Amino acid sequence: MPISPTYPGVYIEEIASGVRTITGVATSITAFIGRAKRGPVNKAITINSFADYERIFGGLDLNSSMSYAVRDFYLNGGSQAIIGRLFKRMLGTSF
Protein backbone atom coordinates (compact mmCIF):
# COMPACT_ATOMS: atom_id res chain seq x y z
CA MET A 1 0.00 0.00 0.00
CA PRO A 2 1.56 3.32 -1.07
CA ILE A 3 2.29 5.89 1.60
CA SER A 4 0.65 9.31 1.34
CA PRO A 5 3.26 11.81 2.53
CA THR A 6 1.76 14.46 4.76
CA TYR A 7 4.96 16.45 5.33
CA PRO A 8 8.51 16.54 3.92
CA GLY A 9 10.86 13.77 5.10
CA VAL A 10 11.96 10.22 4.47
CA TYR A 11 9.34 7.53 4.16
CA ILE A 12 9.99 3.77 4.22
CA GLU A 13 7.68 1.21 2.72
CA GLU A 14 8.44 -2.46 3.37
CA ILE A 15 7.60 -4.82 0.54
CA ALA A 16 7.34 -8.58 1.01
CA SER A 17 10.16 -10.16 -0.99
CA GLY A 18 8.95 -13.75 -1.20
CA VAL A 19 12.33 -14.94 0.08
CA ARG A 20 11.99 -17.62 2.73
CA THR A 21 14.41 -18.18 5.57
CA ILE A 22 16.52 -21.32 5.30
CA THR A 23 15.88 -23.60 8.24
CA GLY A 24 18.98 -24.97 9.93
CA VAL A 25 19.49 -28.72 10.09
CA ALA A 26 21.95 -30.99 11.85
CA THR A 27 25.21 -31.45 9.96
CA SER A 28 26.62 -34.38 11.91
CA ILE A 29 24.34 -37.04 10.40
CA THR A 30 25.41 -39.22 7.49
CA ALA A 31 24.62 -42.50 5.77
CA PHE A 32 26.88 -45.47 5.05
CA ILE A 33 26.15 -48.28 2.63
CA GLY A 34 28.38 -51.33 2.42
CA ARG A 35 29.50 -54.69 3.72
CA ALA A 36 29.24 -55.70 7.39
CA LYS A 37 29.77 -58.95 9.36
CA ARG A 38 26.11 -59.26 10.31
CA GLY A 39 22.89 -57.32 10.73
CA PRO A 40 19.73 -56.50 8.79
CA VAL A 41 20.16 -56.62 5.00
CA ASN A 42 18.79 -54.00 2.57
CA LYS A 43 17.23 -52.00 5.40
CA ALA A 44 18.29 -48.61 6.74
CA ILE A 45 19.14 -48.72 10.46
CA THR A 46 19.76 -45.54 12.47
CA ILE A 47 22.55 -45.73 15.06
CA ASN A 48 23.81 -43.18 17.58
CA SER A 49 27.26 -44.55 18.48
CA PHE A 50 29.95 -46.95 17.34
CA ALA A 51 28.85 -49.23 20.19
CA ASP A 52 25.47 -49.49 18.40
CA TYR A 53 27.32 -50.40 15.20
CA GLU A 54 29.32 -53.11 16.98
CA ARG A 55 26.20 -54.56 18.61
CA ILE A 56 24.09 -54.61 15.43
CA PHE A 57 26.62 -55.03 12.61
CA GLY A 58 29.56 -56.82 14.27
CA GLY A 59 32.21 -54.11 14.66
CA LEU A 60 35.42 -53.68 12.69
CA ASP A 61 36.02 -56.09 9.83
CA LEU A 62 39.05 -56.22 7.49
CA ASN A 63 36.67 -56.99 4.60
CA SER A 64 34.52 -53.92 5.32
CA SER A 65 35.86 -50.45 4.66
CA MET A 66 32.45 -49.21 5.86
CA SER A 67 33.17 -50.42 9.41
CA TYR A 68 36.31 -48.26 9.59
CA ALA A 69 34.49 -45.28 8.07
CA VAL A 70 31.72 -45.54 10.70
CA ARG A 71 34.31 -45.77 13.49
CA ASP A 72 36.16 -42.70 12.17
CA PHE A 73 32.88 -40.81 11.80
CA TYR A 74 32.17 -41.23 15.52
CA LEU A 75 35.80 -40.54 16.51
CA ASN A 76 35.48 -37.21 14.70
CA GLY A 77 32.35 -36.14 16.56
CA GLY A 78 29.55 -37.61 14.46
CA SER A 79 26.26 -37.96 16.29
CA GLN A 80 23.99 -40.12 14.15
CA ALA A 81 24.48 -42.46 11.20
CA ILE A 82 22.15 -44.42 8.98
CA ILE A 83 23.60 -47.79 8.00
CA GLY A 84 22.59 -49.83 4.97
CA ARG A 85 24.13 -53.30 4.92
CA LEU A 86 24.45 -54.85 1.49
CA PHE A 87 24.79 -58.59 1.09
CA LYS A 88 25.42 -60.66 -1.99
CA ARG A 89 25.06 -64.41 -1.68
CA MET A 90 27.86 -66.26 -3.47
CA LEU A 91 26.88 -68.99 -5.93
CA GLY A 92 27.27 -72.45 -4.46
CA THR A 93 27.05 -71.35 -0.81
CA SER A 94 24.38 -72.62 1.55
CA PHE A 95 24.12 -69.72 4.02
Contact 39, 85 (CB under 8 A): yes
Contact 13, 66 (CB under 8 A): no
Model confidence at 91, in pLDDT bands (50, 70, 90)?
low
Note the helical H segments in 20-64: 50-57
Give me the pLDDT at residue 89, please: 64
CA distance 42 to 55: 18
Counting DSSP H helices and E strands in the chain, the numbers are 2, 3
pLDDT(26) > 80: no
Bridge partners (DSSP) of residue 47 are 81
What kind of architecture, by CATH, is found in domain 30-85?
2-Layer Sandwich (3.30)
